[in-house]
Amino acid sequence: MPTIREVAALAGVSPTTVSHVVNNTRFVSAEVRQRVLSAMDELGYRPNALARSLRRGETQTLGLILPDSANPFFAEIGRSIEDAAFELGYNVILCNTEGDLHKENLYVDVLMKKQVDGVIFVVAGDRSDSLVSMIKHGVSVVVVDRDVAGVSLDTVMTDNYQGGYLATQHLLSLGHTCIGCISGPSHLTPSAQRVTGYRQALLDAGLTVAESLILRGDFRPESGRSAAKVLLNHTPRPTAIFACNDMMAIGVLRAARELSLNVPNDVAVVGYDDIELASYTAPPLTTIRQPKAEIGRAAVQLLLERLNQRELAPRRELYPATLVIRGTCGGKA
């Protein structure tokens, strides 16, 4: 890499003058400025952006920690965050923890060493020692999608209780009274809140909650397929299934095909998230929409406001969930 001294020698000026041109820290005549810029171009010199940023006390870089970038929901959330940050002049470093707390700790250490300005975080569980560590070291953090026990900080998420209630209420309105539920991991608050909404909708309809019809998945398609096969062999057999994310709902659709059951005539299905793929399943998936673009923009905005006003009280942005009706819910089976 060419150095600032080599640029100065070629332009016939001092290294200090080159620095002033690069950083706009002092008036330099148009003729001298052009000589410096031409020398930079000829040598292929690029200013050290990191060094300049650190002198200003910022790097214009944000960290983004996701638990599973292969999950389309998190991929779409990540894209919305990156787009929002880019529009405001920030770069984003993406870290995928795969839900592993050890990997999460390692990535937090990496981001702190790179001196990112702040971090947007979807934690791997309901607790996070690495999150607490960042806060203690003065790193500004916004948590997306999940509540974290023991900490109070800026949070952006959807009303998961409302989403679970809406999904179940829709199935009830179609005449279904035997409704199975496939939840996500028990230690994740979104999953627990969606199941709570499911339970309350049944109770409000005067129905008993059958615990044998609530099975646990891991938010991946195969767990939805496996759980659906158990539910669809249950006596009595559910006429509808609420899966707590779209990936598991896609697994339910496959299980129904493998059992020669028709969706929605034999079993109705509702998912959660409204990932892009949801409208391309056969039939297209009825689901609960999370406003991913709005969540991403809000997370970036809260983080930048936190960077400028660290004394602000912790804020919580809670977006409403909405029902998207497509083809996987017909009349009563």
**Contact indicator for 7, 16 with CB cutoff of 8 Å:** no
Are 122 and 8 in the same domain?
no
pLDDT, residue 332, reads 39
C-alpha to C-alpha distance for 90 and 118, rounded to whole angstroms:
11
Are 147 and 171 in the same domain?
no
Residue-by-residue DSSP string for 198-258: HHHHHHHTTPPP-GGGEEE--SSHHHHHHHHHHHTTSSSPPSEEEESSHHHHHHHHHHHHH
Domain-embedded: residue 29: yes
137: pLDDT strictly greater than 90: no
C-alpha to C-alpha distance for 60 and 80, rounded to whole angstroms:
18
C-alpha to C-alpha distance for 62 and 124, rounded to whole angstroms:
19
Are 188 and 260 in the same domain?
yes
Domain-embedded: residue 147: yes
Mean pLDDT of 20-27: 79
Domain-embedded: residue 326: no
The pTM of the full predicted model, rounded to 2 decimals, is 0.81
pLDDT, residue 331, reads 46
Q: What is the pLDDT of residues 176-201, one digit of tens each?
A: 999 999 999 877 888 999 999 999 99
| Secondary structure element (H or E) that encloses residue 73, with its range | helix 72-87
Domain-embedded: residue 190: yes
**Contact indicator for 66, 123 with CB cutoff of 8 Å:** no
Domain-embedded: residue 136: yes
φ/ψ of 331, rounded to 5, equals: -75, 180
Report residue 282's pLDDT band, with 50, 70 and 90 as the boundaries.
very high
CATH of residue 32's domain is 1.10.260.40
* Listed residues 253, 272, 290: the one ending a domain: 290
CATH of residue 298's domain is 3.40.50.2300
Domain-embedded: residue 330: no
The single residue listed with the structure tokens 């990535």 is 107
Amino acid at 222: E
Q: What is the pLDDT of residues 221-255, one digit of tens each?
A: 999 999 999 999 999 999 999 999 999 999 999 99
Are 128 and 14 in the same domain?
no
Residues β-bridged to residue 288:
272, 323
pLDDT, residue 128, reads 65
pLDDT, residue 51, reads 54
Q: What is the pLDDT of residues 195-219, one digit of tens each?
A: 999 999 999 999 999 999 999 999 9
Are 182 and 106 in the same domain?
no
Dmax (CA) of the chain: 88
Angle, helices 72-87/246-258, rounded to nearest 10 degrees: 150
C-alpha to C-alpha distance for 191 and 194, rounded to whole angstroms:
5
pLDDT, residue 136, reads 81
Report residue 104's pLDDT band, with 50, 70 and 90 as the boundaries.
confident
Are 196 and 166 in the same domain?
yes
Are 41 and 80 in the same domain?
no
Are 219 and 112 in the same domain?
no
Mean pLDDT of 281-290: 96
Are 164 and 22 in the same domain?
no
**Contact indicator for 220, 67 with CB cutoff of 8 Å:** no
Percent of the chain predicted with pLDDT > 90: 65
Q: Which of 16-30, 79-93, 222-236 has the highest mean pLDDT?
A: 222-236
Domain-embedded: residue 325: no
User: How many independent structural domains does the chain possess?
Assistant: 3
C-alpha to C-alpha distance for 214 and 281, rounded to whole angstroms:
24
Poorest-confidence range of 105-119, 154-168, 171-185, 313-327?
Answer: 105-119
Are 116 and 262 in the same domain?
no
Going from the C-alpha of 260 to that of each of 192, 228, 265, 308, 322, the distances in angstroms are 31, 13, 11, 58, 31
Are 165 and 154 in the same domain?
no
55: pLDDT strictly greater than 80: no
pLDDT, residue 333, reads 33
Residues β-bridged to residue 121:
65, 143
Average pLDDT across the chain, whole number: 90
Q: Can you give the residue range of the structural domain that contains 67?
A: 59-158+292-319
Domain-embedded: residue 331: no
Report residue 280's pLDDT band, with 50, 70 and 90 as the boundaries.
very high
Percent of the chain predicted with pLDDT > 70: 94
* Listed residues 271, 290, 309: the one ending a domain: 290
pLDDT, residue 88, reads 86
* Listed residues 252, 273, 290: the one ending a domain: 290
275: helix, strand or coil: coil
Amino acid at 224: G
Are 168 and 229 in the same domain?
yes
